[in-house]
Amino acid sequence: MATYAELVKRRNEIMTRAIGFDFAQFENGGLAFDYERMMSNAGYSLAEMTRIQKDVGVGDTPLLELRNITRLARKFAPPGKGARIFLKDEASNPSGSFKARRAAISVYHAARKGYKGVAAATSGNYGAAVASQAAMRGLKCIILQEVYDSRGIGQPEILEKGRACEAYGAEVLQLTVGPELFALFLGVLDETGFFNASLYTPFGIAGIETLGVELSEQLVARTGRNPDVVVVTHAGGGNVTGTARGLQKAGAHSTQIIGASVDLSGLHMASDKDFNRKSFTTGHTGFGMPFTTWPDRTDVPRNAARSLRYLDRYVTVTQGEAFYVTEMLAQLEGLERGPAGNIALAAAFVLAQELDAEQTIVVQETEYTGAGKHPNAQMAFAREQGIEVRLGDPRDSKPGTNIIIPEQAEQLSVREVNLDDLRRSYLRNALERKNGVPLSEIEIEFLCEDSRASREFVLRMAQGYVS
């Protein structure tokens, strides 16, 4: 394999060959690029994506009304409040999560273009989804995972997902946490000539649009109207972006999009020390915050997942609250599902109490559960790392120090994330890349669109960074 310096020097060449197009064609100069033209470059209509996914058993997942959980939420809501809570059961997909929608389009495209295999760098459900789809299409598959800290101790949830990838026939390369993942991934793409089935290409994001469309159509069929609120577990931003775009294409323009993450503030995701002091490997602020404030920190030159364009509101819950709601879903609704979707459900339980009883709130996805993904495994692992796990008030939670499970449902709450603060962080990150050069008009327009901020907001921020 080539050296790190050689690979980085050839990054654009490697990426262009591994994705099949050059991102440079979308650049508009400086900070700006043509996002919608890049998305349309995926080349598949909604009807075509639905057909592609249906051919491999992806999509058309059930929309379930959580009647017992709704009744419980109404016990704590003011009179006349307590929206009906629905759940889109994406665990019904072949690999057990909504990520099958992303993978189905990427792998189909790779097969159509004659690639011999696909590769992806992911420690989450997406690896299993890519491996599953590759098996269906007769392609080879390599998945790279960050699994271990420097002591060789691995996250149980990531190990669980690695086993799933191997079960589908993928080759799994497991690493310790650190900066070498990107270099190794470039090397794999360079040596194999495989397709880069990144989470963040237009193919991967467009594949989620079918979820937003289905969600709208199913709820309209059940209730006669679009959802008032859709709650999406927020990590790298693809889930928010694809679902919101699908809802818009279905005509659900007034539906509020709320992102939800587990609060892991104070823990650094690239830190060897902190790596095993978290009990959630996705759907947490360690991904949600940095990817919101600078999306282009990914394994592709321009990230198609851009959550600030679509978020109406962003809230967090604690680890203990998400674990509590996992048991709530199993014991009240008879559905045992994995951790990620239950982050959004924990938020939805609280948010439903703010809404009128005739309104609807939809939790946008579930995922499968398994030995390493189950709360018991995660809490046992936390105790082994010296983290206190106990019942109590979740407001006393401190990420990396304790996990506090609520003693009763009325203790569940959400914490607001100020979207304007995230916009300021995004704009600071963008403006620092200008090195004092004034913004062009096209850059100003792009920053307004990408941060969903007013022109005045962007120009106020620019005053402190542009001479």
Q: Convert the pLDDT of each residue in 358-402 to its tens digit.
A: 999 999 999 999 889 999 999 999 999 999 999 999 999 999 999
Statement: residue 467 has pLDDT above 60: no
For 71-112, write each residue's pLDDT tens digit.
999 999 999 999 999 999 999 999 999 999 999 999 999 999
Are residues 344 and 296 in contact, defined by beta-carbon separation less than 8 angstroms?
Answer: no
pLDDT digits (tens, 9 = 90+) for 296-316: 998 899 999 999 999 999 999
Residue with tokens 């237009």: 202
| pLDDT > 70: percent of the chain | 99
pLDDT single digits (tens) 129-187? 999 999 999 999 999 999 999 999 999 999 999 999 999 999 999 999 987 888 899 99
Tokens 């004034």 belong to: 438
The answer to whether residues 72 and 105 belong to one domain is no
Dist CA 419 CA 325 (whole Å): 26
**Which pLDDT does position 242 carry in this prediction?**
98
331 and 215 together in one domain: yes
Pair (162, 307) in one structural domain: no
**Total tally of structural domains belonging to the chain:** 3
Helix (H) or strand (E) holding 134: helix 125-137
pLDDT tier for residue 40 given thresholds of 50, 70 and 90? very high
Residue 32 lies in a domain: yes
Least confident of 150-154, 265-269, 290-294, 323-327: 265-269
User: Quick check: is 14 in a domain?
Assistant: yes
Helices (H), 352-417: 375-384
Residues 6+ apart with CB under 8 A from 275: 146, 149, 155, 177, 269
Q: How many residues does the chain have?
A: 467
Q: Is residue 185 part of a domain?
A: yes
Q: Could you tell me if 368 and 241 are in contact, meaning their C-beta atoms sit under 8 angstroms apart?
A: no
Residues 398, 449: one domain? no
CATH code, domain carrying 134:
3.40.50.1100
Look at residue 83 and give its three-state secondary structure. coil
Answer with the one of 204, 232, 267 that is the final residue of a domain: 204
Q: Note whether 238 and 311 are same-domain residues.
A: yes
Q: Helical H runs in 168-208?
A: 180-192, 202-206
Residues 215 and 228 in one domain: yes
How many CB atoms neighbour CB 125 within 10 A?
Answer: 29
Dihedral sign of CA atoms 179, 152, 283, 97 in order: positive
Shared domain for 334 and 216, answered yes or no, is yes
Question: Which ranges of 250-317 would DSSP assign to H, the alpha helix?
Answer: 285-293
Among 186, 204, 222, residue at a domain's last position:
204
pLDDT for 6? 86
Average confidence (pLDDT) over 460-465: 85
What is the amino acid identity at position 117? Answer: G
Mean pLDDT of the 433-444 span: 93
* pLDDT tens sequence across 51-70: 999 999 999 999 999 999 99
CA-to-CA dists, residue 146 to 69, 143, 174, 175, 229, angstroms: 36, 10, 6, 5, 34
| Residue 292 in this model has a pLDDT that exceeds 80 | yes
In a domain, 236, yes or no: yes
pLDDT for the residue numbered 360: 98
What confidence score (pLDDT) does residue 466 get? 58
C-alpha span between 404 and 409 (Å, rounded): 13
128: helix, strand or coil: helix
Same domain membership, residue 302 and residue 167:
no
The verdict on 380 and 395 lying in the same domain is: yes
Is 18 domain-assigned? yes
Which of 169, 204, 239 finishes a domain?
Answer: 204
Residue 438 resides in a domain: yes
Convert the pLDDT of each residue in 153-169 to its tens digit. Answer: 999 999 999 999 999 99
DSSP 411: G
Residue 52 belongs to a domain? no
Q: Is-contact 321 406, C-beta < 8 A?
A: yes
Same domain, 238 and 102: no
Domain that holds residue 150: 4-47+97-204
* Region of 447 on the Ramachandran plot (φ > 0 left; ψ -120 to 50 alpha; else beta): alpha
Same domain? 457 vs 404: no
The pLDDT-based confidence of 432 (bands split at 50, 70, 90) is very high
Does a structural domain hold residue 218?
A: yes
- Counting residues of the chain whose pLDDT is more than 90, the rounded percentage is 92
Q: Are residues 76 and 127 in the same domain?
A: no
Query: Quick one: which of 353, 349, 325, 350 has its CA closest to 339?
Result: 325
Give exposure, 270-306, as e/b (b: 16+ Cβ within 10 Å). eeeebbbbbbbbbbbbbbbbbbbbbbbebbbbbbbbb
Tell me what the pLDDT averaged over the chain comes to. 96
AA letter at 242: G
pTM: 0.97
Helix (H) or strand (E) holding 229: strand 229-233
